[in-house]
Each structure stands twice: as C-alpha cells, then as structure tokens.
Amino acid sequence: MRKPLYVFIGCVMVTAGFFLALTWQLPGSDEVSTLIGPRLWPLMVLVLMLVFSVLLLIQTRRKASEDVDAESAPSTSNTAAEQPGRWRALEAYRHWLLLALVIAYTVGMEAIGFLPATVFFTLLATWVLGARQLRSIVLTTFAGALMVAVVFDALLNIPLP
Amino acid sequence: MIDSLLHGLAVVLQPMNFLILLSAVFIGFIGGALPGISGVILVVILLPVTYGMEPTTAFMLLTAIYASTVFSGLITAILYRAPGTPEAVMTSFDGYPMTQRGEAGKALGIGILSSAVGGMVGTIALIVFTPMLASVALQFSSPEFFALAVLGLTVVASLGGSVLLGLIGAMIGLFIASVGIDPVTGTLRYTFGNLNLASGINLIPIIVGLFAISEVLKRAQGNAPHQTVKKVRIRIFDGAILKKIRATLARSSILGVGIGILPGIGASTAAMVSYSEAVRWSKHPERFGHGEPEGVAAPESANNAAAMGALVPLFALGIPGSGTTAIILGAFIMHGLQPGPAFMSGNGELIYAVFVGLLLVNVMILAFAKPFVAVLSRVLNVPYAALGPIILICCVVGTYSVQNSMFDVWLMLGFGVAGFFLEKIRFPLVAIILGVVLGPIAESELRRSLAMSQGDPSIFFTRPISASLLAVAIVVVTLAIVMPLVKRYRRGANAAS
C-alpha cells in the first residue's frame, strides 16, 4: 500500500502547489472593498493541505523504515491470477470495462436518447459484471429501462435527453 | 412541543408521506442487509430522487433510510458474520456463534428488539435535546459558528484509518467548496473560464461519484461473495430473554445516545463501547464472544441510539455527528435549508415530522422485521451483476436530473475514478464531503468574525464559547494523532521487555 500512498502524497503536493500559485493571483484584502479578500481562505486551506501532506510523508517514511523486517516476510500470492475460468482476462479489467461503458452510456444518452442508451448499457454492463444467463440479463435490462422510464421520466418529470 | 409532535404526526400520516416512509423503511432494510450497500450509499443514490420532492417528504425518506439501515446491518452479521453495515460489526461477535449453535432466530429476535428499543430511546433524546441545544446555540455569533464548523471537521478524527489522511481529505473538500464565485466580492475562483464552475461544484456529483461509482468499480474488480438466507424462526418477545437483557438494553441505549450526540464519535464506536461495558458489568464475562445474548443486545441498542443521537448536533447546531449525517447535512443544503440554531423556529413542521417519522420507523422495525427476513431471502439471491448496472443507471440519471447538466455527470465520473483510487489507500472519503459541506459556513463565518474584530484573530480565543469549542476540536485531533503513537510506543516497550 506504500507506493500508492507516495503517489497520492505527490499528487496532493503538486496540485496544492499549482493552485497555490493561482491563489496568489486572486485579489488580497488591500485590493477589494471588504476587510478580508477572496484569497485568504483558499490560501489557508492550501497551506494546511501542504503541511498535512508533508507530515503524512514523514509518517509514511518512518513507518517504512520500521517495517523493513516485516516486508522481508514471504509475500502472499496473487489470488486473482490463480483463479481459473474462461473469463479470467475479462475479470482482470472488468472495472475499467464497466467505467468505459458508463462513459459510453453518458455519451450515448445525448446521441441516441436515454431509453435506448439505458437498454444497451444494462445489457452490456450485466454481462461485464459476470451474468451469463440470458434470463437474468434480459430481466435486469427490463428493470433498468423501466426504472428510468417510470421513476425519472414519468414520476419525477425530469427532461431526459 | 406536544402540539408540534401532533402536527408532525398529522404530516407523517398523510397518505403519500406515510407511503414514502414505509417504502424508505423497506429500502433501508434491504440496503442495510446487503453487504456493500451501506446506509451512506443508499442515501447517496436517493439524494437526486429527493430533489424534486417537498423538503419534509425528502427528509422523512432520507432519515428513515438512515435509521433502518443501521438496524438491518445486523441480519447478515448474525447469519453469516458479514455485517451489512460497519455499525453491526460488534453484533457478529456473539450473534454468529448463536447462529452456529442453532439459535439464529433467538439472536435475530434479540437484535430486532434491541434495535427498536435503542432507536426509540435515541429518538426521544433527539426530540428532547434538540430544542434545548438549539436555544442555547441561538446566543451564538460568527466566531462561535466558525468554531462549530471547525469542531464539525474534527469528525475526520473518528472516521478510522490515518487521521492525517482525514485532515487532507477535509482540506480537499474545503478547497473544492471555494471553487466558483466568491459570494462576498464576486471574484471568480478556479473556474478556468468554464461557466459551469461559476456557481461552484454541485454536491451531488461529488457524493455520488466518491461513494456509489467507486463502490461499484471496487466490487467489479473483486469477486463479491454471493449469499443466500436460511429459513429461521424469529421470536422477538421472549420473557426470559427480556428479563436477562433489560439492564443491558437500558445502559447501552443511554450510553449510545450520549456517544452519538458527541460530534465525531459515531454509532460504530458506541457499539464497541457498550459491548465492552456489557462485558465489564456481566457476571459471566467469559461467555462473551461465544454466543451471549447480551453481546447482541448491547451493540444493537447502542448503535441505533447513537445513530439517532448523531442527529441532535445536526439539527441543533448544523454540524454532523457522523459520516452519514454529513451527507444528510449536504442534502439539507441542496434543498436550500441550513440546519442550525435558527432552523428549529423556521422549519418546525419539517423537524417534527422527521422526529415522528423516526419514532414510527422504530415501531415498523418491530412490526416488519420478521416478514422482512423472509423477503430478504429472495433479495439476497439477486446477484451483483444485476444490482451494479441498476445502481450505475441511478447514479448517471440521478446526477443529470438535479440540474439537467451533463457537466455534472462528467464531474461525477471523475470523482468516481478518484474515489476508486483513494479507497486503495484506505482514504476516508467522508472527510472530503465534510469539507465541501462545512467549507462555505466556515469561510463566511471566518470573514464575518474578522470583520467584527477589525482583522484581529484573537476574537476566537477571547469569547468563551468559541474558545471552548476550538479547544475541544484541538484536543480531539491531538488525541487522535497522539494515542496511536502512545500505543505503538507501549507495544514497543512491552516487546523489548
């Protein structure tokens, strides 16, 4: 878990630094008619964010040096890689496939309308999530389309694309 | 107060409101019982749906779901040692061993009764203490409100995991809240010329993305266990058991309310503390962990009482007592309402309808829990492959529907991916929501306070209430950082000796 934590700390520091530079360009107290300008609050927040991320970096590095022995212990095997089955390759990237489907659904809602987009999305998403029986795929698709049509369109009168 | 409660009852008993309350209880039952769909996620999914409702109906729905999910987490905790909600973790310690020795019905009966009793004690405390606390808080001015917002942010200290991660999350949330037009000077902040950002970032895409989308992606990546419910005979009112657990029920309910009212402690902690108290007061502490009825009664009465207690600071002070109440606070703001000391006087009908609704929810728990467990056997058979797409459709269409904005949907997907990665480092996502919700209050009250004192920050420390609130906030965060270090030092010292 340590490497993702370092990546996170790095991202926070870079982002906070970038917005800090933008914050300096906001009007300060002497440039506006009010006593406190729009710069003070985000400045405080971003400085605190940087301070906490530095503290987290120190804490993580200290823990890393303490846990050197623990890390030399034999690592557990990758259970996902050991799982047998025809759809193993698909399962490894299932979450990204699902995300791609949600993005396609969002684009499709505007392009072909919400109801056809919902039908296509539910069909594919149910299959990507592991359903292989035609009956359950069709039932889920029907439930998804019915929910959008009844709850959002008919009951709540939301002008869907 | 009695008149207000009767008026609240009349509002709740309106056919549409009652139907919505009843539906909320069943939705909450199902959501709480399904591991992976917590109360937070259910409230998040239904937030956009409530946007078109009357505020009173919307908050009856959301609070009823909140209350019923806290209860129904116990079902899978007892039957499978798979708590449906974090609050039910302690319940599995004795509930599951009871199931293993063929006493699942007895354990569920104790859990149902304890939840209802704890929930009712908590709701009565909510009805009594909220107006009292609100009337005290009416004396507050800007420095006190700023201090309250800071105290509200200290909830991050109790979210579990790293306190520093929680603090960074709160800062991220506070920063997100500062995007858009500065309400005082009209200056545009961090909009990059995009008009969609001028009015700030809407709360719905943040909440739905961080919680619901990331959860579905997480579950798509792993292989969620598929469970089925066995048939059990539940006995809720058993004289002998009631006699045995009545003292535990009373003690744990009161303890739960007290812990719930304190901002930042939460129902999970209440369940743990009351469990350990039950062990301490028991004549047979060695039986705990091996299927002791009091081991089910203590955490269940405490977590339901604490969940109701956590609503006291939300209604009276406008600060959330827990993660889910932070999202409910966001829902109030989304409906253009600002809970706090003056909220009681202007929104009596809404508040008392919610209070009466919560009392009824606890009665419904007693009445419908038994038949629900029978229905649950069918619902738990629905695989995640079917639930996941439905949740995603709710997220996309629900987020779009709030402002009819595709920009919000894209933002939600962005926050979903961010939430998915953040969960890999066990990041407390609620911290971001706390920051977003409390950010505007904190900034405006800070600026008003400094305007009152002509820019002198000592105003926060010279006024007794704001100084006390800030002191409590500092102590809470300091303890959360220092206590793990002390424990580590002690462990190290013990290992060396």
Half-sphere exposure of residue B184: CA atoms within 13 angstroms, side-chain side? 23
Confidence category of residue A89, pLDDT binned at 50, 70, 90: low
**Residue A35: CA count within 13 A, CB half-sphere:** 13
pLDDT value for A74 = 47
B330 vs B59: CA distance, rounded Å: 12
Distance from CA of A72 to the nearest CA of B (A): 19
Residue A90: band (very low, low, confident or very high) from pLDDT cuts 50, 70, 90: low
Closest residue of B to A26, CA-based? Answer: B189
Alpha carbon separation from B491 to A123, B20, B486, B487 (Å, rounded): 54, 52, 9, 6
Work out the pLDDT band at B275, boundaries 50, 70, 90. confident
Per-residue confidence band for B94, with pLDDT thresholds at 50, 70 and 90: confident
Q: Where are the beta strands (DSSP E) in B174-221?
A: 180-181, 188-189
Report pLDDT for A83: 47
Asked if B425 and A12 come within 8 Å (Cβ–Cβ), the reply is: no
Taking only the tens place, the pLDDT of each residue in B441-497 is 889 889 989 888 888 889 999 998 889 989 988 888 888 778 777 877 777 777 777
Q: What distance in Å separates residue A90's CA from the closest CA in chain B?
A: 10
Q: Do B386 and A140 touch (CB under 8 A)?
A: yes
Paired tokens of A56: 């987290």
Nearest CB partner across the interface for A48, out of B171, B394, B442? B171
| CB atoms inside a 10 Å sphere around CB B16 | 10
| pLDDT over 60 at A85, yes or no | no
Substitution target in A52, A54, A127 with the highest count of B β-carbons within 10 Å is A52
Q: Do A55 and B164 touch (CB under 8 A)?
A: yes
Residue A81 has pLDDT above 50, yes or no: no
Tell me what the pLDDT averaged over chain B comes to.
Answer: 83
Tell me how far CA of residue A32 lies from CA of B179, B192, B245, in angstroms: 18, 21, 65
Contact list, B171 vs chain A (CB under 8 Å): 45-46, 48-49, 52
- B35, B83 Cβ separation under 8 angstroms: yes
Whether A131 and B385 lie within 8 Å, measured CB to CB = yes
Say what the pLDDT of residue A76 is: 43
Of the pLDDT bands very low, low, confident and very high (cuts 50, 70, 90), residue A82 is very low
Q: How far is A149 from chain B (nearest CA, A)?
A: 11
Least confident of A150-159, B221-230, B350-359, B385-394: B221-230
Beta carbons of B455 and A8 less than 8 Å apart: no
Mean pLDDT of B94-103: 84
8 Å CB contact between B208 and B414: no
pLDDT of residue A157: 65
DSSP B438-463: HHHHHHHHHHHHHHHTTT-TTHHHHS
Compute the nearest-CA separation of A74 from chain B (Å): 22
Total beta-carbon pairs less than 8 A apart between chain A and chain B: 179
pLDDT of residue A10 exceeding 60:
yes
Q: What is d(CA B107, CA B230) in angstroms, rounded to the nearest whole number? A: 14
**Residue B157 banded pLDDT, cuts 50, 70, 90:** low
pLDDT at residue number B327: 84
pLDDT of B418 reads 94
Question: Which whole number is the average pLDDT over B151-158?
Answer: 73
Instruction: Name B28's Cβ contacts closer than 8 Å, sequence gap at least 6.
Output: B39, B42, B64, B65, B66, B67, B68, B69, B71, B72
Region of residue B426 (phi > 0: left; psi between -120 and 50: alpha; otherwise: beta) = left
Closest chain B C-alpha to A157 CA, distance in angstroms: 9
Chain-chain contact of A114 with B425 (C-beta, under 8 angstroms): no
CA distance B435 to B133: 24
* Nearest CB neighbour to B185, from listed A34, A99, A121: A34
- Which among B118, B88, B137, B66 is positioned nearest to B340, based on CA atoms? B137
Q: Looking at the 3D structure of chain B, how many domains does it have? A: 1
Q: Which residues in chain B are contacts of A87 at CB distance < 8 A?
A: none
Residues in B touching A27 (Cβ below 8 Å): 185, 187
B14: left (phi over 0), alpha (psi -120 to 50) or beta: beta
Count of CA atoms in the C-beta half-sphere (13 A) of A129: 30
Q: Are the Cβ atoms of B388 and A125 closer than 8 angstroms?
A: yes
Q: What is the mean pLDDT of residues B351-372?
A: 88
Q: What is the pLDDT of residue B178?
A: 93
Q: Please tell me the distance from the alpha carbon of residue B339 to that of residue B61, in angstroms, as a whole number.
A: 17
At residue B339, the pLDDT reads 85
Contact A156 B52 (CB under 8 A): yes
Closest Cβ opposite residue A131 in set B171, B386, B401: B386
A18-53 tens-digit pLDDT: 999 999 988 877 777 666 788 999 999 999 999 999
Q: Which two tokens stand for residue B44?
A: 């998040």
pLDDT at B381 (0 to 100): 61
Q: Please report residues of B whose CB lies closer than 8 A to that of A35.
A: 447, 450-451, 454-455
Interface predicted TM-score of the whole assembly (ipTM), two decimals? 0.86
Nearest-angstrom CA–CA distance, B454 and A108? 55
Q: Which two tokens stand for residue B298?
A: 């203590």
How far does B276 lie from chain A, in Å, by closest CA? 30
Nearest CA in chain B to A149: B397
Residue B228 confidence class, pLDDT cut points 50, 70, 90: low
Give the residue from A140, A142, A147, A153 with the most B CB atoms within 10 Å of its CB, the best one to mutate. A140
The rounded percent of chain B whose pLDDT value lies above 90 is 16
Nearest to A122 by CA among A102, A94, A93: A102
> How much is the average pLDDT of B337-365?
87
Q: B158 falls in which pLDDT band (50, 70, 90)?
A: low
Interface contact flag, A19 B190, Cβ < 8 Å: yes
Which amino acid, residue B64?
A: A
Range of the domain at B367: 2-496
Select the residue of B383, B417, B422 nearest A99 (Cβ to Cβ): B417
pLDDT for position A87 = 58
| Residue type for position B248 | T
Rg of chain A on CA atoms, in Å = 25
**Whether A42 and B189 lie within 8 Å, measured CB to CB:** yes
How far off is chain A from B473, nearest CA to CA, in Å? 16
What confidence tens digit (pLDDT) does each residue in B300-329 have?
A: 999 899 888 888 888 888 887 777 788 888
Contact A52 B168 (CB under 8 A): yes
